[in-house]
Amino acid sequence: MDSTPAPRTGREGPSLPGLSTRASGILLHPTSLPGPSGVGDLGRAAYRFAEFLAAAGQAWWQMLPVGPAGRADSPYQSESTFAGNPLFVSLEGLAEDGLLEPADLVPAAPLSADRVHYAAAERFKEIRFAKAFAAFEGRAARAEQEAFARFRATAAGWLPDFALYRALKDAHAGAAWADWPAPLRDREPAALREARERLERDRRYHEFLQFVFDAQWRRLRAACAERGIGWIGDLPIFVSHDSAEVWAHRELFELDETGRSTVVAGVPPDYFSADGQLWGNPLYRWERMAETGYAWWIERFRGILGRFDAVRVDHFIGFARYWEIPAGARTAKRGRYREAPGADFLTRLQAAVGGFPIIAEDLGILTPEVAELRDRFALPGMRVLQFAFGDDEESRYMLPESYPERCMAYTGTHDNDTAAGWFRDPPPAAGTSAALLHARERERAGLYLGGDGPDLHWRMIGAVLGSRANTAIFPLQDVLGLGSGARMNRPGTVHGNWQWRFREDDLTAAHAARLRELTEASGRLPGGAARRTAS
């Protein structure tokens, strides 16, 4: 292991794509990778997936947020915006580093290969993490100890708060920070000093896990870079209330004197939900953010741009305006729009971070103000083929012939059904307006795509690849032609999401060959035509 900062291999590397390059890639969250530990991680399966991407002619690997998942196992409700998810730490990697034995990698009873059962995976891994930490504490070479110290110094802006937050959360049986005793909840200096001393080893354990995550992350990223594969990350515009950052920076959020949210985030009723989406995240005090020169936001972007080659900002619309819902509301219907300082914020952010490889997730109600903000900073927006066949006026902008070069084109996202499931699974109850829309959408899709045979998912991939969009992305489920059982998330629902995994033998040479053929035909293969912007 080594904590030397990762080289910025993305935008500068001549072999890697940029957002103005004609290229394509696959959306796959690491939890969906195969392996024996009950959850995908940064181990051997991740390297095999990188080999598949290269064989298939793909230049991007897009992921969901990679922080420690919080409420309902959602990567969009992370316990930290800076930390990595310890579940991604590979036990194989710990064994290779001499911190575990081969026998430690084998569960007493097989864990699920098709779905992530988070509690079981956490129990299995945490026992082994504790053993690895004890081994590191007891016999780590001086070079490894120095590497750990360098990592702690590099991460000093966020790691101490996160490690203490995690140690206190463990000490309080997983309770949210707002439910801790008031001196700790309110970060009284004496209480924090006592907790740091009492929980010193626990804090060091969580720092160790972040150290190992960082080392394994950088090794995998370097291996992908060697194959010409860049990484696209995902930054939720809002953060979880029960997170180290909200606890450490209460003054930046709309909270009362006890740390509870007074208003929360969400979106009004839309395509995905008649009740809207009640996310429940605390909202920002943008005036206070501005007084600090948006320092917290700038560090947040520096962190993720040090980890990825480009980043998708989830709900970019919230930089222009956001939906404010009273705390305690049961749905997102009752709320109001509030203005956000989009242009001022992005101007200062761009000046601070330099390169601006940012993707604006602009799906939903796209007002002229949001479009102007996106275009003012020359950010690519998103187009989703599944949205192209509805009755509304916006649908025609989702047809491939309407895509501009400066955009990210998708068959679907993590919030959509799979392509095959969307087209083939049973429709809503007969006679309802939803059933009628379902039928019309599929009829239009079949006509547009030239048929509704079993290869419809390939036709959708081909249509997106053939568009003028600089970047084409498709979920792995669509490459595999899987039905709704492989769906990653159902917006507006809490349970049963983020669980899908593929099996080792699901990825075949035939999949790679067909995807490569379509990629080459669309001028997106790395090198040659793939390096030229579409005209």
Q: Among all residues, which ones are annotated catalytic? A: 314, 361, 415
The residue behind tokens 């909840």 is 185
Contact (Cβ atoms closer than 8 angstroms) between residue 374 and residue 316: yes
Q: Which amino acid is at 355?
A: G
The b-or-e profile of 40-59 (16+ CB within 10 A means b, else e) is bbbbbbbbebbebbbbbbbb
Q: What is the DSSP string of 263-313?
A: EEEEE-S-SS-TT-EEEEEEPB-HHHHHHTTSHHHHHHHHHHHTT-SEEEE
Tokens of residue 163, six digits: 């490690």
Angle, helices 200-226/118-139, rounded to nearest 10 degrees: 100
Tokens of residue 469, six digits: 């969009």
Q: What is the DSSP string of 79-134?
A: S-SSSPPGGGS-HHHHHHTTSS-GGGGS-SSPPPSSB--HHHHHHHHHHHHHHHHH
Cβ neighbours, 10 Å, residue 153: 10
Tokens of residue 427, six digits: 């429709």
- Give dist(CA 40, CA 121) in Å, integer: 10
The residue behind tokens 């796209």 is 366
- Give dist(CA 408, CA 424) in Å, integer: 25
Q: What is the DSSP string of 464-499?
A: HHTSS-SEEEEEHHHHHT--GGG----TT--SS-S-
Task: Tell the burial category of 448 from Cβ atoms under 10 Å away from its Cβ (0-12, 13-18, 19+).
Answer: middle
Q: Which helix (H) or strand (E) holds 24?
A: strand 23-27
In sequence order, the β-bridge partners of residue 360 are: 313
